[in-house]
Structure 1
Amino acid sequence: MPPVTTDIRLVVLDMAGTTVADGGLVERAFEAAAAELGVEPGSAEHAEHLAYVRATMGESKISVFRHLFGAEDRARRANTAFEKAYGDLVDGGLIAPVPGAEEAIRKLAEGGRTVVLTTGFARVTQDAILDALGWQGSSFPVSLTLCPADAGGRGRPYPDMVLEAFVRTKAAEDVRQVAVVGDTSYDVLSGVRAGAGLVAGVRTGAHGDAEFRAAGATHVLDSVADLPALLLGDR
């Protein structure tokens, strides 16, 4: 594994698949969105759409639906159905932290790093996840949470949320002092495009080593739980 040569001061972490284990709820919520638009389960169209959803994990969900359904009104109908379905699943207690994620976030904060959580979901869904996990408030050491709308509307693979975290927190003097960690190639690509000094893919979610390396990852980790040791020089 390459050494960490930069002084990392800001850590930008993805949520679903990276710090949050959702057990495939994205695909389950997509079923509701597809049904809203009249896509028949088991059809070739449904299979094609699901393949695209899997390939673009990490991207802003409204952007995914714009690609799949074209017209803005159809995309928004799909997105609304998706967000409602996902929110209902969250309310049903079907999410949990990735093992070791909470401890990792606390260790990073205790070690002097500023931690930001990002997502491709809408703010209402992001807040539902944070509330369900008890990750809101001063007792949890996350300085900022961002969704695509907080960064001008463009989600991953654009670098906007990473750069928004850099600008808002003022935790780093140089983008090379930023670490970006996620479970998809789009997470990795957003970090690379932002110029982050460390960009790591984690094996707890949608994509694997080949996708991470192709997107330009500097590191691949089994889990976000391994990040503090990497950054704090314990290995």
Structure 2
Amino acid sequence: MIELAVFDMAGTTIDDGGAVYRALSEAVTGAGATLSDSDLQAWMGTDKVQAITALLDLGDISPTDELVASRFAAFKVALAEAYRTDPPTAFDGVPEALASLRTRGIRVALSTGFDRPVVEGLLASLGWTVAEDPAAPISSSTTVDAVVTTSDVAAGRPAPYLIHHAMELTGVHDVARVLAAGDTLVDLQAARNAGAISVGVLTGALSRESLTEGPHDYIVGGVVDIPALAECRPA
């Protein structure tokens, strides 16, 4: 049985109606950069400062520190406004799936390409709570055991550090007993780089055909299907 399930947030556990996609696109094109859908998709799920830097460069705009900082600020403003006017919600069945895993003794962590301030506002809007001690006995009074953001690690996806830090926080030692799920190719790459069971979910923007291009052990419809994989081993 797995001991830890690590889930991406927007597009995986949380339905934000594509707000991150639009805010990132606007942040880059607002600087005059050209942007293709394929380039944007390639950088979805990564640290947003890193994504903006790369996308500006791909769009023939020199990504100076000052410009990247201003575009990241614009991204956060646009995202906050989108979340204010159309608050994100959990995908159907996700809270129940998370609770099911934790009831079985499987710890649950969220990982994200957002920084800590964005995540705290997002969790508050959903009413989701995080255990004060991620390694303490699992309590039904909280939603998840840990949340790891790009503010907490040296590098975001596709580096494995978000997943490994979730392991560190929850006291899980064996990567073979960790499942990591997400809706982007970099989610799958990060899971593979971490040595975890890599699961793609189809609740994001990518089709099954596109998602299967990434390194994966399983492709499922959504997080609601993850409890059925609790006994799984890498395919």
| TM-score bin (small chain) | 0.7 to 0.9
What is the Cα deviation at residue 213 of structure 1?
Answer: 2.9
Aligned residues: 217
Q: Which amino acid aligns with 2:22?
A: R
CA displacement 1:182-211 (0-9 Å, x = unmatched): 001110110000001x21100000223334
Q: Is the 8 A contact 2:115 2:150 kept in 1?
A: yes
Corresponding residue number in structure 1 for 2:138: none
SS in 2 for 1:117: strand
Q: Is the 8 A contact 2:40 2:55 kept in 1?
A: no
Please give the alpha-carbon distance, in whole angstroms, between the structure 2 residues aligned to 1:178 and 1:71: 38
Corresponding residue number in structure 2 for 1:20: 14
Corresponding residue number in structure 2 for 1:107: 100
Q: Which amino acid aligns with 1:91?
A: R
Identity %: 31
Matches within 5 A, 1:76-225: 76-137=69-130, 139-152=141-154, 154-170=155-171, 172-196=172-196, 198-225=197-224
Corresponding residue number in structure 1 for 2:27: 33
SS in 2 for 1:16: coil
Q: Which amino acid aligns with 2:99?
A: R
What is the Cα deviation at residue 53 of structure 1?
Answer: 1.9
Corresponding residue number in structure 2 for 1:3: none
What is the Cα deviation at residue 73 of structure 1?
Answer: 1.6
Corresponding residue number in structure 1 for 2:136: none
CA displacement 1:83-108 (0-9 Å, x = unmatched): 12111211224311111111111111
Please give the alpha-carbon distance, in whole angstroms, between the structure 2 residues aligned to 1:84 and 1:191: 30
Between Structure 1 and Structure 2, which shows a larger proportion of helix residues?
1
Q: Which runs of 4+ in 1 moved over 6 A?
A: none
Matched, 1:229 2:228: yes
* Unpaired segments ≥5 residues, structure 2: 57-62, 132-140
Change in CA separation of 1:137 and 1:14 when aligned onto 2, cut-off 3 Å: closer
What is the Cα deviation at residue 46 of structure 1?
Answer: 3.2
The two structures have a TM-score, normalised by structure 1, of 0.86
Further displaced range: 224-233 or 15-24: 224-233
What is the Cα deviation at residue 167 of structure 1?
Answer: 1.3
* Unpaired segments ≥5 residues, structure 1: 1-6, 40-44
